[in-house]
Amino acid sequence: MPECRPLDLSNARILVTNDDGVQAPGLDVLEGIARKLSDDVWVVAPETEQSATSHSLTVRRPLRLRQLEARRFSVDGTPTDCVVVAVSKVLADRKPDLVLSGINHGSNLGEDVIYSGTVAAAMEAALIGLPAIALSLARRGNHDFYWETAERHAPDIIRRVAEVGFAPDMLVNVNFPDLQPDEVRGARVCRQGRRDVETEVVEGVDPGGRPYIWIGDYMVDESLEPDTDLAAVNEGCIAVTPLHLDLTERRLLETLGAAFS
């Protein structure tokens, strides 16, 4: 059982980032949430949308850091770039005590954590040794996002996670259901799930007559396994999932090792 170190938010320096871009409404919501927790809040986010960029790092070209206003910056790169630049440049005098990534426009459940730029930013923070939480908001219909749901519930979720603390190489993935604040059925700590369907792939023809293939989203967020993040959100709960950066399949270490002995 890894030892978790509680985090005191009263004097914490908080870095806020995302993958939807520095102009995204979810970023403003998360910045407001962070300011309820601390007076020392900084924003370093991608200049443009970087959804599904996963944990990519820009190494083949220089990056441009732009200050937009006091304690608010953009980087013309990925969410991972933003965390690296924030820690090494913007906040070089004092590293952040907590990194909050989001609030993503749409859930990051199950397999999404592999592709998500939102989760990747939190992963990069964890790699650097910083406590990190990724936050996302589901939407299943054509209505506006229920940002007020995250505004209502996120501060308490973050405080509870901080009280328990963070273990090395660990991050927490939080997903809010597509419900009004009063309709949420509590928070549930659960494992990462796996959908019962694959990603949608659409074929078509562009205006020039050229065929294309467009990789879309998952058709449904359903899983037969009841103890997962997918099930929790589908049942109206906030899913709180601890993730770890060590991908080693320990159950195979001995068996595979014997094959090479």
* pLDDT tens readout for residues 114-137: 999 999 999 999 999 999 999 999
246: annotated binding-site residue?
no
pLDDT at 261: 85
Q: Establish whether 104 is an annotated binding residue.
A: yes
Residues of the chain under the 50 pLDDT cut: none
Can you give the pLDDT at residue 180? 97
Check residue 149 and give its pLDDT.
98
Q: Is 206 annotated as a binding residue?
A: no
pLDDT at 54 (0 to 100): 85
pLDDT of 44: 98
High-pLDDT (> 90) share of the chain, %: 77
Q: What is the pLDDT of residue 195?
A: 79
> If we measure between CA atoms, which residue out of 126, 181, 154 comes closest to residue 31?
154
Tens of pLDDT, residues 156-197: 999 999 999 999 999 999 999 999 999 999 999 999 998 766
Annotated binding residue 173: no
Q: What is the DSSP string of 136-152?
A: EE---SSSPP-HHHHHH
Residue 198 has a pLDDT of 66
Instruction: Specify the pTM.
Output: 0.92
- Topology of 13-194+223-259 in CATH? Stationary-phase Survival Protein Sure Homolog; Chain: A, (3.40.1210)
pLDDT at residue number 223: 65
| Residue 112: exposure state from Cβ atoms within 10 A (0-12, 13-18, ≥19) | buried
- For the chain, counts of helices (H) and of strands (E): 7, 11
| Encoded amino acid at 165, one letter | G
Per-residue confidence (pLDDT) for residue 124, from 0 to 100: 97
Q: Do residues 19 and 51 touch, judged by C-beta distance below 8 A?
A: yes
The pair of structure tokens assigned to 24 is 């995204």
